[in-house]
Amino acid sequence: MTALTGRLAANPADLLHDEVLRPQFEREVRHLLPHYVAIERVLVAEYRRMGVLTPEQADDVDALLAGIGPDTLTADPRANLSDVAFAVERHVETRLPRPAPHWHVDRSRNDLQACAQLMFARERLVDLAEGLLGLTTAAHDLAAANLTSPMPGHTHYQAAQVMTPGFYLAAQSGHLLHTGRRLLATYDGIDVCPLGAGAMTGQNLPWDRDRMAHLLGFAGAGRNALTDVASRAWAAEITAELSLFGVATSRFATDLITWAGAGFGFVDLPDELSGISSAMPQKKNFPVLERIRGRTAHLTSCHVDAALGQRGTPYTNLVEVSKEAGVQLYDALDTARSVVRLLTAVLQRLEFRADRMRAACEREYLGGFALATSLTLHAGVPWRQAQVLAGRYVVAALDAGLPPTEPDPALLTRIAAEAGYVVAEPGAFLAEAFDTDRSLRATPTAGSAHPDAVVAELDAQAAEHAALAGQWAARRAGLDRARDIG
């Protein structure tokens, strides 16, 4: 068997093989092997075009490449240095029915590995985007089904104003669309093929880089050979977007966890998505929500790992950057996919408890802002003083044990008079300010919690969703070209 190197006289040590090479080999077979094979088949097509291989030689090599699968290759420190690229080369070379001495001339593992990693990342990004679109649909549908049930919205952990689940979920589906747009921009920014960059400065044969890029489903070829093999900025960009997605998702999950708690009881999940306490039989827990929030933390840690793995390294091809700095990319994409799947299942089965949400609205003085506005616009009280009068009324009503559903016009009259103001219709002011349903429809502005405004927002989101789905479908079609090689 032909030696792989004349520079080293010994095979990799068992320690190096067990701790580094074999785990790397198995990881690449699991995640990258189909892409390695696709790349090699494109290279064979180029050898044929350039006349480096005869048609018969090219057919022989291509047929052997097409037969490579996960069970074909084995990490062997003596036969292939436990390197996937060398294992593919050995597999073909030892099975050729006739010699093909020019096969693999003018080749480097540097651009091969960079290209395979990028192909994996693009494919998984499209998979994730398709799941994200499904999650967006789930949030959109749940919002549309809960447009008119009032619930308290909170600021600074305190009940603040009346909103609806539909209004809240429209915010979530809007942010998911935002994530989909950012991931699309990330995808388009990394959709350049490194193949043909060689080790770092290009190659000697006249490889048609644009043709190879097209065959592998890329938008185009890389413009700088050094960048093609040295940069793994794309890995940090992907994990950065996943980290941002995780941060926002954790906040939405936190609200669901809060609303599911005994202090609120606003939401419920079916038993098959719920858990129990082993010691307290009265409890119904929702650990799936904790899992979702907990997993979002991994997305940030994966990004930090990707960034720190590259920081302080020279700008060239390095194992430290190409292998170690990118090892968490696999976990980041898997974790993001898991978060999307779990949250989709939750939103598809989540139930809002309209009676409890309304009761919570009616025991809180959520209309203080509206009362101050009425006092200014209809009773001539300057705005800041109107805020003071509204606050004094709420404090006095609470001290008297009066709920918002039992307004006291005389109390408001007295408080206003003490400040030197006359309120002609205090009962009307209080009824309008503290009536839950009126509060929900008191904001006519675009983007507000008014059911009509939420419907308009959901309609706009539906159109954007359709456009975004079409754009991602076009990217999927590009990936399918690479699968059809041969």
Q: Can you tell me which residue has the tokens 């827990």?
A: 285
| Window from 105-114, 280-289, 295-304, 426-435 with minimum mean pLDDT | 280-289
pLDDT at 278 over 90: no
Under a CB-based contact definition with an 8 Å cutoff, are residues 166 and 469 in contact?
no
pLDDT at 59 over 50: yes
What tens digit of pLDDT does each residue of 438-456 get? 999 999 999 999 999 999 9
Average pLDDT over every residue of 390-396: 96
Predicted pLDDT of residue 478: 86
What share of the chain has pLDDT > 70, as a percent?
99
Q: Which residues have C-beta within 8 Å of that of residue 382, sequence separation ≥ 6?
A: 376
pLDDT at 281 over 90: no
Predicted pLDDT of residue 3: 75
**How far are the Cα atoms of 103, 196, 225, 243, 338 from residue 202, in angstroms, in the given order?**
18, 6, 6, 34, 39
What tens digit of pLDDT does each residue of 2-51 get? 577 788 888 899 999 999 999 999 999 999 999 999 999 999 999 999 99
Q: How distant is the alpha carbon of residue 439 from its chain centre?
A: 35
Q: How distant is the alpha carbon of residue 331 from its chain centre?
A: 13
Predicted pLDDT of residue 485: 59
pLDDT at 1 over 90: no
Average pLDDT over every residue of 186-206: 97
Under a CB-based contact definition with an 8 Å cutoff, are residues 421 and 380 in contact?
yes
Q: Model confidence at 483, in pLDDT bands (50, 70, 90)?
A: low
Predicted pLDDT of residue 343: 98
Under a CB-based contact definition with an 8 Å cutoff, are residues 73 and 29 in contact?
yes
Q: Model confidence at 201, in pLDDT bands (50, 70, 90)?
A: very high
CA 250 to CA 23: how far, in whole Å? Answer: 32
Kindly compute the dihedral angle of the four CA atoms of residues 414, 420, 426, 431, in this order, to the nearest 10 degrees: -90
pLDDT at 374 over 60: yes
Average pLDDT over every residue of 137-141: 98
Average pLDDT, the chain: 94
pLDDT at 262 over 90: no
CA 186 to CA 174: how far, in whole Å? Answer: 18
CA 97 to CA 57: how far, in whole Å? Answer: 9
Q: Which of 218, 183, 176 is nearest to 197 (CA)?
A: 218
Under a CB-based contact definition with an 8 Å cutoff, are residues 175 and 135 in contact?
no
Under a CB-based contact definition with an 8 Å cutoff, are residues 341 and 295 in contact?
no
Predicted pLDDT of residue 2: 59
Amino acid at 116: A
pLDDT at 241 over 50: yes
CA 402 to CA 149: how far, in whole Å? Answer: 24
Q: Which of 71, 86, 128 is nearest to 479 (CA)?
A: 128
Q: Model confidence at 276, in pLDDT bands (50, 70, 90)?
A: confident
Strands, DSSP E only, in 327-464? Answer: 351-352
CA 369 to CA 382: how far, in whole Å? Answer: 14
**How far are the Cα atoms of 242, 247, 308, 368 from residue 301, in angstroms, in the given order?**
10, 11, 10, 42
Token code pair at residue 456: 């308009």
What tens digit of pLDDT does each residue of 140-183 get? 999 999 999 999 999 999 999 999 999 999 999 999 999 999 99
Predicted pLDDT of residue 331: 95
Predicted pLDDT of residue 486: 42
